[in-house]
Chain A
Amino acid sequence: MKFLHRFINKIKPSFEKGGKFSKLHSVFEGFETFLFVPNTVTAQGVHIRDCVDLKRIMSVVVFALMPCLLFGMWNTGYQHFRSVGLVQNPADAVQSFWTIFWFGFWKVLPIIVVSYVVGLGVEFTAAQIRGHEINEGFLVSGMLIPLIMPADIPLWMVALATIFAVVIGKEVFGGTGMNIWNPALLARAFIFFSYPSQISGDKVWIAGLTEGTGVIDGFSGATPLAIATGGTGDTAASMTVESLQQQLPSIYDMFMGFIPGSIGETSKLAILLGAIVLLITGVGSWRIMLATVIGALGVGYLCNLFAANPYMALPPYYHLLMGGFAFGAVFMATDPVTASQTNTGKWIYGLLLGMIIVVIRIFNPAYPEGVMLAILLMNTFAPLIDYYVVGANINRRLKRAKAKS
């Protein structure tokens, strides 16, 4: 690696002030520190430092997302071949595993490339304008964005949404660490409200289904959530909770992820693997994950008690398996910047989040999925929750002083 380091040192001057490429200083520095942890030593304060840094934390999250990504690629292919009638169930798919995977791979890879190239481009530009070092935050956002998109999303939309998320969601507030909303979810919300037909309905979740060529008769690409919405409103009258459960994919399929949905959200098994990584390393907050699950189950049980339609009567654990709940609770809600930052706050934040997700799902037929909106809403309120938690600390201190005097 000496050779590489010598090379970097050789080209370094042209990126410094007055050099030919001084406009690319932040970019150069970003790449240099990526390759080599710099020789900076502690100047004041502590003389030794923990070896953890933001690059490590962010790469742990990206690593934890890998099972979701790989499964998502396979499932994109699987769902497509299912729609054209080439496979019926996962067992059929074993022989043609690589065909299926490669189909999905080539479908998903461009989305990832667009997300990273566009997002990092904005990030680099912003860092250069401000004269800052490049922040590692987008390494995670850039992976999250593709994983919460439908496989058939037009690439220009991904690009536009990414720019919106990074500029309006992050850079205007001052960059990583200063943002109010989770940038990846903001990208999805942007598409959701700007191009609703591209990100809702029964057809968008499966690659090629919108075009419709070769699709077998009677094939429905409906997600479990869309089916479950059938258990409310006018259609509910002719339905019991048992018939609704029969329409839904099996628990096994929903857990394993053999269902239509956003690229990375379908397999609860893959998400669980990621969750284990986040929990062991302590990078994701167990308080938020647990509280979100408790909140969702709690409202689910309440709905069971007062069930007015089959959806309300659905066993609460269905909510953990359908849609983006698991992915949101593990990877989105736990974003340390946009979640509550105090431990008490995290419990409140998680509980409310879980509750609101289920409330939106069941009681608002306009939005079959509540995770995105619920997280963005709770992101908005997280500082308020912390404000009161910290306020309680201030009051304890005041009370202590009064008790003395």
Chain B
Amino acid sequence: MSRIIKLRKGLNISLKGSAEKILGKVPMSETYAVKPSDFPGLTPRLCVKQGDEVKAGTPVFFDKNADKIKFVSPVSGVVEAINRGERRKLLEVVIKPDAEQVSEKYEITADLSESREQIIELITKSGNWSFIKQRPYGIIANPNDKPKSIFISGFDTAPLLFDIDFVLSEQQQYFQKGIDVLGKLTDGKVHLGVDVNDFASCLNNIKNAEITLFSGKHPAGNVGVQIHHIDPVNKGDIVWTVDAQHVAMLGRFFSTGVYDAHKIIALCGSKVKRAQYYRIITGAKITAFSDLIDHDGSVRYISGNVLTGTAVNKDGYMGFYANRLSVIPEGDKYEFLGWAAPRLSKFSASKSYFSWLTPNKLYDLDTNLNGGERAFVVSNQYEKVLPMDIYPVYLLKAIFAENIDKMEQLGIYEVIEEDLALCEFVCTSKIQVQAMLRKGIELMIKEMS
């Protein structure tokens, strides 16, 4: 019997436009992009130029500080553009796919008899290493480290459901293979967190992983919260984390030897006409979904979920780690005496509004800030939505003061932006918690290296 961990703190935000459990097809995008900005802390070095022909799995850039780690083209085709921003910062490598897709192939034994070094070599060379992130800091793992354990969250609790069980249902053998591969990378355990209510989940049959059942509201599905309760990150510890779908993709690579960037995403949000799941190739241009979205008025397209995702343009690209394309209305309008109004159609974790009386209602929230930025005033607001033994406000104040020792003492190694995203959502003072935290993490990386 697996261990059950009950989390009381947290907050579920029920939004309109959850994806139905139907897998749809969209035509191939006109272009695909690989974006360095998807990988925090990365300094990219290009290895293709405009007009080059690439296969799916051909490196397009690598990490300047760890040249083993390659970032590869998701499709075969021609490098159409290399877009740069201010000071020639590399923004995206755009690839136009061929009609006929060819992929890089690798020799892999069927019984996984390779050594740890050979496996790491295979993963880095093939461009699959970017699946593996590390705690602390939430950056791509260093292949030279040996993590004390590896964590995978088997459920996603962020707003607008992304059902990992549904997504993995046809890839269970690949997921198992991925777990086996990860098991070779650590001397510790591979941990898999599963929603206690998901007893039918295919993840419950997975072997070679320590399954822990979680019950609770968002962010119970965040891998950081699960690490905190199972095997917390102390100073000097390194833990690796992999997104569940990426585990299956890793397993698929080790089963077939072929680089394959197909993944399933949920198209969701109140501005979507038919919210359901779609199979795409990583880095797809979102214009592929254009017909499925209601573009009336101003609309925000988010690669990822509404709490942690990245806003993209109407013709932008899906992020590398994004499992959702969330489309919601922009909130760029004025509201007369809004702060005094009953606001029955808006959602608040505060009981000064009435949404706590209608817990089953679905809300159509826009992107309005609903107020102005202020100093911290209300206390105990962040703690209510963070199921970790951490004082987030004190941590943020330490970051603000750039006090490295205090940041370390108050637990900066244990959190990344997604863990504090709800704190930012509920904040009365409208403080930009995630941006502040990333600033602190960047400072830690700089000072500790």
Contact = CB atoms under 8 A, between A and B. Distances in A.
Contacts of A60: 352
A176 B374 contact: yes
A174 B307 CA distance: 31
B434 to A, nearest CB: 4
A36 interface: yes
B338 A37 contact: yes
Interface in A276-317: 280-283, 285
A96 interface: no
B368 A49 contact: yes
A372 interface: no
Contacts of B374: 54, 133, 135-136, 176-177
Given A51-B348, A285-B380, A44 B375 contact: no
Given A336-B378, A390-B394, A54 B336 contact: no
Give the most central of A1, A46, A393, A401: most B CB within 10 Å: A46
Give the most central of A54, A175, A400, A401: most B CB within 10 Å: A54
A82 B154 CA distance: 72
Contacts of B338: 36-37, 51
B372 A1 contact: no
B410 interface: yes
Given A36-B336, A54-B429, A390 B410 contact: yes
B370 A39 contact: no
Interface string B203-242: 0000000000000000000000000000010111100000
Contact of A56 (B311, B339, B434): B339
A328 B330 CA distance: 43
Contacts of B427: 49-50
Nearest to B363: A48
A59 B391 contact: no
Interface in B79-117: none
A35 interface: yes
Contacts of B200: none
Interface residues of A, number: 60
A50 B370 contact: yes
B421 A175 contact: no
A388 B347 CA distance: 36
B377 interface: yes
A56 to B, nearest CB: 5
A86 B426 CA distance: 54
A53 B370 contact: yes
Interface in A59-73: 59-60
B365 interface: yes
A1 B426 CA distance: 29
B300 A40 contact: no
A321 B255 CA distance: 76
Interface in A32-48: 33-48
Interface string B178-221: 00000000000000000000000000000000000000000000
Interface in B289-306: 300, 302, 306
Contacts of B326: 47
A258 to B, nearest CB: 32
Contacts of A94: none
A46 B420 CA distance: 10
Contact of B410 (A53, A54, A135, A394): A394
Given A57-B377, A177-B429, A390-B410, A341 B389 contact: no
A265 B292 CA distance: 61
Contact of B434 (A46, A49, A54, A283): A46
A341 B380 contact: yes
A343 interface: yes
B353 interface: yes
A36 B336 CA distance: 4
Nearest to B13: A48
Contact of B350 (A40, A50, A390): A50
A38 B334 contact: yes
Contacts of B232: 400
B331 A53 contact: no
Given A42-B369, A54-B371, A280-B351, A47 B306 contact: yes
A37 B339 contact: yes
Given A51-B348, A282-B350, A37 B234 contact: no
Interface in B347-398: 347-353, 365-380, 383, 389-391, 393-394
A4 B380 CA distance: 38
A183 interface: no
B391 A40 contact: no
A142 interface: no
B29 interface: no
Given A50-B349, A51-B346, A404-B234, A40 B377 contact: no
B253 to A, nearest CB: 33
Give the most central of B333, B335, B350, B372: most A CB within 10 Å: B372
A17 interface: no
Contacts of A33: 372
A43 B308 CA distance: 12
A40 B428 contact: no
Contacts of A398: 409
B391 A282 contact: no
B337 interface: yes
B425 interface: yes
Given A37-B370, A400-B232, A48 B328 contact: yes
B378 A41 contact: no
Contacts of A400: 232, 234
Interface of A: 1, 4-5, 33-57, 59-60, 133, 135-137, 174-178, 280-283, 285, 336-337, 339, 341-343, 346, 390, 393-394, 396-398, 400-401, 404
29 contacts: A4-B336, A33-B372, A35-B336, A36-B334, A44-B435, A45-B421, A45-B424, A45-B435, A46-B424, A47-B306, A47-B326, A48-B159, A48-B328, A48-B365, A48-B425, A49-B371, A51-B343, A52-B370, A52-B426, A52-B428, A53-B372, A55-B340, A60-B352, A280-B351, A281-B351, A341-B380, A390-B394, A393-B410, A397-B410
Top-7 shortest CB links A-B:
A53-B371, A177-B375, A37-B338, A401-B234, A55-B339, A341-B379, A45-B434
Given A51-B347, A57-B352, A390-B410, 14 more contacts: A36-B336, A42-B369, A46-B434, A48-B306, A48-B367, A49-B370, A49-B430, A51-B338, A51-B348, A53-B430, A55-B340, A175-B375, A283-B352, A285-B380
